[in-house]
Amino acid sequence: MSKIKRQQKLLDIIKQHEVETQEELIVILNNCGYNVTQATVSRDINELKLIKVNGTQKKYRYAQVTQSKQIDNVKFLNLFKAAVTSIVPAQNLVVVKTLISNGAPVGATVDSLNYKEIVGCVAGDDTLLIVTHNAQEAEVVASRLHELL
Protein backbone atom coordinates (compact mmCIF):
# COMPACT_ATOMS: atom_id res chain seq x y z
CA MET A 1 0.00 0.00 0.00
CA SER A 2 1.19 3.47 -0.78
CA LYS A 3 2.67 5.91 1.69
CA ILE A 4 0.03 8.53 0.83
CA LYS A 5 -2.83 6.10 1.53
CA ARG A 6 -1.20 4.95 4.77
CA GLN A 7 -0.69 8.51 5.97
CA GLN A 8 -4.26 9.44 5.04
CA LYS A 9 -5.49 6.43 7.03
CA LEU A 10 -3.33 7.54 9.97
CA LEU A 11 -4.93 11.00 9.83
CA ASP A 12 -8.40 9.45 9.66
CA ILE A 13 -7.59 7.31 12.70
CA ILE A 14 -6.43 10.23 14.87
CA LYS A 15 -9.50 12.24 13.88
CA GLN A 16 -11.86 9.42 14.88
CA HIS A 17 -10.03 8.05 17.94
CA GLU A 18 -7.91 9.38 20.77
CA VAL A 19 -4.59 7.71 20.07
CA GLU A 20 -1.97 8.35 22.73
CA THR A 21 1.05 6.28 21.62
CA GLN A 22 2.85 5.10 18.52
CA GLU A 23 2.20 1.53 19.66
CA GLU A 24 -1.56 2.17 19.51
CA LEU A 25 -1.19 3.57 16.00
CA ILE A 26 0.80 0.51 14.91
CA VAL A 27 -1.88 -1.88 16.20
CA ILE A 28 -4.74 0.06 14.57
CA LEU A 29 -2.91 0.45 11.25
CA ASN A 30 -1.96 -3.26 11.23
CA ASN A 31 -5.60 -4.18 11.95
CA CYS A 32 -6.59 -2.03 8.96
CA GLY A 33 -4.24 -3.97 6.66
CA TYR A 34 -1.27 -1.61 6.76
CA ASN A 35 1.83 -3.60 7.76
CA VAL A 36 3.84 -0.92 9.60
CA THR A 37 6.75 -0.77 12.00
CA GLN A 38 7.50 1.70 14.76
CA ALA A 39 10.06 3.42 12.53
CA THR A 40 7.47 3.89 9.77
CA VAL A 41 4.91 5.34 12.17
CA SER A 42 7.54 7.61 13.70
CA ARG A 43 8.49 8.95 10.25
CA ASP A 44 4.82 9.44 9.36
CA ILE A 45 4.24 11.39 12.60
CA ASN A 46 7.15 13.69 11.76
CA GLU A 47 6.19 14.15 8.11
CA LEU A 48 2.55 14.87 9.01
CA LYS A 49 3.67 17.27 11.76
CA LEU A 50 1.55 15.56 14.39
CA ILE A 51 1.64 16.91 17.92
CA LYS A 52 0.31 15.62 21.20
CA VAL A 53 -2.51 17.56 22.80
CA ASN A 54 -4.62 16.91 25.88
CA GLY A 55 -7.23 14.25 25.35
CA THR A 56 -10.67 13.94 26.86
CA GLN A 57 -10.61 10.17 27.42
CA LYS A 58 -6.84 9.73 27.59
CA LYS A 59 -4.15 11.98 28.98
CA TYR A 60 -2.82 12.89 25.51
CA ARG A 61 -3.74 12.28 21.90
CA TYR A 62 -2.19 12.95 18.52
CA ALA A 63 -3.46 15.93 16.50
CA GLN A 64 -2.38 17.43 13.19
CA VAL A 65 -0.94 20.85 12.55
CA THR A 66 -1.94 21.55 8.95
CA GLN A 67 0.20 23.44 6.47
CA SER A 68 -1.43 26.75 7.40
CA LYS A 69 -1.29 25.79 11.07
CA GLN A 70 -5.06 26.05 11.37
CA ILE A 71 -5.77 23.27 13.84
CA ASP A 72 -9.46 22.76 14.33
CA ASN A 73 -9.82 26.38 15.46
CA VAL A 74 -12.83 25.96 17.71
CA LYS A 75 -11.26 23.15 19.73
CA PHE A 76 -7.91 24.88 20.01
CA LEU A 77 -9.46 28.19 21.02
CA ASN A 78 -11.42 26.30 23.66
CA LEU A 79 -8.18 24.66 24.78
CA PHE A 80 -6.55 28.10 24.88
CA LYS A 81 -9.34 29.43 27.09
CA ALA A 82 -9.17 26.44 29.41
CA ALA A 83 -5.39 26.12 29.62
CA VAL A 84 -4.11 29.71 29.89
CA THR A 85 -3.70 30.99 33.45
CA SER A 86 -1.98 34.33 32.77
CA ILE A 87 -0.72 36.60 29.99
CA VAL A 88 1.92 39.18 30.87
CA PRO A 89 3.79 41.51 28.49
CA ALA A 90 7.44 42.17 29.41
CA GLN A 91 9.46 44.46 27.14
CA ASN A 92 9.21 42.91 23.66
CA LEU A 93 8.03 39.58 25.10
CA VAL A 94 4.71 38.12 26.16
CA VAL A 95 4.82 35.39 28.81
CA VAL A 96 1.82 33.07 28.71
CA LYS A 97 1.48 30.70 31.67
CA THR A 98 -0.58 27.56 31.15
CA LEU A 99 -1.73 24.52 33.02
CA ILE A 100 0.90 21.76 33.15
CA SER A 101 1.58 20.09 29.75
CA ASN A 102 -0.25 22.77 27.77
CA GLY A 103 2.62 25.03 26.65
CA ALA A 104 3.00 23.39 23.22
CA PRO A 105 -0.72 23.16 22.34
CA VAL A 106 -1.24 26.79 23.39
CA GLY A 107 1.82 27.70 21.31
CA ALA A 108 0.35 25.90 18.27
CA THR A 109 -2.86 27.86 18.77
CA VAL A 110 -1.01 31.18 18.97
CA ASP A 111 1.05 30.27 15.89
CA SER A 112 -2.14 29.54 13.97
CA LEU A 113 -3.39 33.07 14.66
CA ASN A 114 -0.65 34.44 12.37
CA TYR A 115 -0.31 37.77 14.19
CA LYS A 116 2.11 39.93 12.19
CA GLU A 117 3.56 41.33 15.42
CA ILE A 118 4.86 37.91 16.52
CA VAL A 119 8.44 37.11 15.54
CA GLY A 120 8.27 33.63 17.08
CA CYS A 121 7.22 31.50 20.03
CA VAL A 122 9.02 29.08 22.32
CA ALA A 123 6.88 26.62 24.26
CA GLY A 124 7.78 24.83 27.45
CA ASP A 125 5.72 22.51 29.61
CA ASP A 126 3.59 25.21 31.24
CA THR A 127 4.88 28.41 29.66
CA LEU A 128 4.81 30.01 26.24
CA LEU A 129 7.27 32.79 25.44
CA ILE A 130 6.18 35.02 22.57
CA VAL A 131 8.75 37.33 20.98
CA THR A 132 7.65 40.55 19.26
CA HIS A 133 9.64 43.36 17.63
CA ASN A 134 9.11 45.87 20.45
CA ALA A 135 7.25 46.58 23.68
CA GLN A 136 4.27 48.20 21.93
CA GLU A 137 3.70 45.10 19.81
CA ALA A 138 3.96 42.93 22.92
CA GLU A 139 1.17 45.00 24.49
CA VAL A 140 -0.96 44.57 21.34
CA VAL A 141 -0.43 40.81 21.29
CA ALA A 142 -1.13 40.47 25.01
CA SER A 143 -4.33 42.48 24.61
CA ARG A 144 -5.53 40.35 21.67
CA LEU A 145 -4.78 37.15 23.57
CA HIS A 146 -6.69 38.44 26.61
CA GLU A 147 -9.67 39.01 24.32
CA LEU A 148 -9.59 35.32 23.38
CA LEU A 149 -10.08 34.41 27.03
For the four alpha carbons of 126, 57, 68 and 12, in that order, the dihedral sign comes to: positive
User: From the centroid of its chain, how far is CA 114?
Assistant: 14
Helix 73-83, helix 103-113: angle, nearest 10: 130
Same-domain pairing of 53 and 118? no
Q: Which of 64, 83, 107 is the last residue of a domain?
A: 64
Same-domain pairing of 79 and 118? yes
Integer angstrom CA distances of residue 125 from 73, 98, 107, 122: 21, 8, 11, 10
Same-domain pairing of 51 and 108? no
Note if the pTM is more than 0.75.
no
Q: In this predicted model, what pLDDT tens digit does every residue of 65-123 receive, in sequence order?
A: 653 344 456 777 788 999 999 999 999 999 999 999 999 989 988 988 888 999 999 99
Q: CATH number of the domain that 24 lies in?
A: 1.10.10.10
Burial status of residue 63 (CB atoms within 10 A of its CB: 0-12, 13-18, 19 or more): buried
Same-domain pairing of 49 and 80? no
Q: Report the domain count for the chain.
A: 2
Domain of residue 77, residue span: 73-148
